[in-house]
Amino acid sequence: LSFMRRKYTKDVKGADAVVWGIPFDAAVTNRPGARFGPQAIRRASAILDNDPQYPFSRDLFEHLSVVDYGDCLLDSGNHHKTPGTIEREAAKILKSGAFLLTLGGDHFVTWPLLKAHAAIHGPLAMVQFDAHQDTWPDDGKRIDHGSFVA
């Protein structure tokens, strides 16, 4: 099932926006399950495909080409490869000129995504809204969902 029943494809040529899932939650320190987020969002979005897109007065899909790129393929047995995998694949999508909308995944996936955006667009700033800031000093020994913003 794709995001809002958009076309599923790895060919992003001509796409204005690319929806991409990152089913990763190995960096959580508490409750796993965020890896199911991309598919849950896609399932929930399926009922919205023919509805007017509030608050817009027009069908955005008549004006924007949006595709679903599927999920990032991750090696669940080697999490130290995960940041590089996410960053490389995100950069590939961004180089097409498309806007990238990612569905996560735990907080950690933000770090390689920011790196990919910065490599394409230059210096960035990040504004984080969160119910609680999962931040603490990085010990340099593990992948963690809170350390990258500390």
**CATH number of the domain residue 139 falls in:** 3.40.800.10
The reported pTM is 0.87
Q: Count of domains in the chain?
A: 1
Question: What are the pLDDT digits (tens) for 76-108?
Answer: 888 889 999 999 999 999 999 999 999 988 888
Beta bridge partners of 67: 7, 18
Rounded to whole angstroms, the Cα distance separating 91 from 55 reads 31
Question: What are the pLDDT digits (tens) for 52-80?
Answer: 666 767 778 888 999 999 999 999 888 88
For residue 119, the enclosing domain spans 3-149
**3-state DSSP helix/strand/coil % of the chain, to nearest 5:** 35, 15, 50
